[in-house]
Structure 1
Amino acid sequence: MNSVRKQGELGNFLRSRRARIRPEDVGFASGSGQRRVPGLRREELAHLAGVSVDYYMRLEQGRNHSVSDAVLGAVADALRLNQDERDHLFRLARPHNVAGKTLDGDGARPEIQQLLDWISAPALVMGRRMDVLAWNRPACGLITDFGRLPARERNLPRLHLLDTTIGGRYPDRDMVAREVVGQLRIAAGVVPDDPELWELVDELKAGSVEFRHHWTQHTVRTKAYGLKRIDHPELGSLTLSYEITRFPQDTELSLLVYTAAPGTPEDKALQSLAA
């Protein structure tokens, strides 16, 4: 992302968060008939954060690279940001040195593949763009045979939101899109100058209504655990738990594992994939 695009991301994010706060909820008269846009005005947000209007405007325009942690924290408090959104604000407001970052295409260490082969549950390793870099046999049985796909197509957002066959297995399509947007927004804040990331984003915006909606809303979310519903063509309707963790020495990579409670139909289905 060039500097102009990055500045635009910061401004768009701050404006989206101002727009969702009702003035009357923070002590201002609503004056709905006199407001051209929903939410807080810049002057009101600056007042709540304890900074001058000019200072806040320069921040929203991406022209204040020396902004302190205290001011960013005050702005985050005034905007009522959750932890994911607060972290995202700090990443967008700070210049990043991304030299030496490992790109998704570099793959995973052989030892990581050995780990996956020892795991009996469906498991895979993703890069920051959610490219699938390594996987085990149960993961192929649950999702798709990644080895038969070209490297570019081994990408969970593309598979879930653009591939009609695989994407059709996920009935909670809007939730999937929201999670994908949340992860890619975080990736954009960490490594803003990744052209392949922005190519992926443009492709998803063109091909998925749900993705486009949540991208416009600047959804930010860390996906760490939860439940995923999958309508498998052979195993039937499954509700699986998932856990995502990172490797301390390979911070670009994350491990995704699907599990099920012992004795449940889902547990038996996963055992059949491992057999």
Structure 2
Amino acid sequence: MGDQLGEFLRAHRAALDPDESDMPSYGLRRVPGLRRDEVAQLAGISVKYYARLEQGESHQMSDSVLHALGNALRLSVDERAHLVRLARPVQAEQIRRPYGPEQVRTSMLTLVDSTADQAAIIVGRYFDLLGANRLGYALYGLNPGQHVNLAKMLFLDPAMLDLFPHWHEEAVRTAAYLRMATGDMPDDPALADLIGELSIKSPEFSRIWAAQSVAECTHSTRHYRHPLVGPLELNEESLRFADDPRQRVIFLGATPGSDSAQRLRLLDSLVP
């Protein structure tokens, strides 16, 4: 966790614009972002203490220091939550569940399968597709019951560049979700293997991953360019399971009366 904490702080310090931080200019900077002493000044802590934090020594940071660092680094709500996970691994350990193969309750699969007017998919802790209804499989061009890893599909399958007209936005979002997962499961070998494989096989993932973006999967609007029915604008709602927060069901539906709603019905009619 110490290495992750240091990498997180360094990446977000490097991403800060000195001009937007009201820091005095001393000529040409050799590296991007703010210096350690500038972040320490903004957070109201000593340079020596902040340097130890970037070296991974959290020393159970107080709430006030966490809040000050979040302000100094201009972190989002999700990024602040991730900082807490990295700085306080003992607390994270208390809510950690055993790692291992994932299973989904039959009742949940039945519920998802019964959803008729929108796509529904069940995604696991490693971005594995654990189940879906007919529209959910059809949306991604998959056969019913087909098991894939959605993160690998996005970064390694060239067809995803056509399916997602805003592919880079989807890529950043997916990497940010995976970064959030590392805070919940810092020692999970399967998650480490997934990130390692993507880093080796996808230069774009490696570049995005280095930015240390963090985001929770909640709700959004997704755009698709489906090969069978054309453009789709779908409203996404992501709900985590109460008994296993690492799994979630995602509903993707169109605004009633919209062109996307008509195309979604057309896609449903084309599914065998």
State the TM-score, normalizing by the size of structure 2. 0.89
Against the structure 1 CA distance between its residues 271 and 192, is the aligned structure 2 distance closer, same or farther, given a 3 Å change threshold? same
CA distance in 2, matches of 1:207, 1:230: 24
CA distance in 1, matches of 2:25, 2:45: 22
CA distance in 2, matches of 1:169, 1:109: 30
Alignment of 1:1-275 (within 5 A): 6-33=1-28, 35-95=29-89, 96-97=92-93, 101=97, 103=99, 105-120=101-116, 121-145=118-142, 147=144, 149=146, 151=147, 154-275=148-269
Is the 2:36–2:50 contact (alpha carbons within 8 Å) kept by the matching residues of 1?
yes
Q: Kindly provide the amino acid, as one letter, of the partner of residue 237 in structure 1.
A: P
* Post-superposition offset of 1:274: 4.0
* Post-superposition offset of 1:168: 3.0
Is the 1:137–1:274 contact (alpha carbons within 8 Å) kept by the matching residues of 2?
yes
Q: Kindly provide the amino acid, as one letter, of the partner of residue 105 in structure 2.
A: R
CA distance in 2, matches of 1:159, 1:105: 20
Q: Taking every aligned residue pair, what percent have the same amino acid on both sides?
A: 37
Per the alignment, in what secondary structure is the counterpart of residue 177 of structure 2? Answer: helix
Is the 1:161–1:208 contact (alpha carbons within 8 Å) kept by the matching residues of 2?
yes
Per the alignment, in what secondary structure is the counterpart of residue 252 of structure 1? Answer: coil
Per the alignment, in what secondary structure is the counterpart of residue 239 of structure 2? Answer: strand
| Structure 1 segments unaligned to the other structure (5+ residues) | 1-5
CA distance in 1, matches of 2:184, 2:126: 11
* Post-superposition offset of 1:273: 4.0
Q: Which residue of 2 aligns with 1:3?
A: none
Aligned length: 266
State the TM-score, normalizing by the size of structure 1. 0.88
Q: Which stretch of structure 1 is more off in the superposition, 221-230 or 132-141?
A: 221-230
Q: Give the RMSD, CA atoms, in angstroms.
A: 2.1
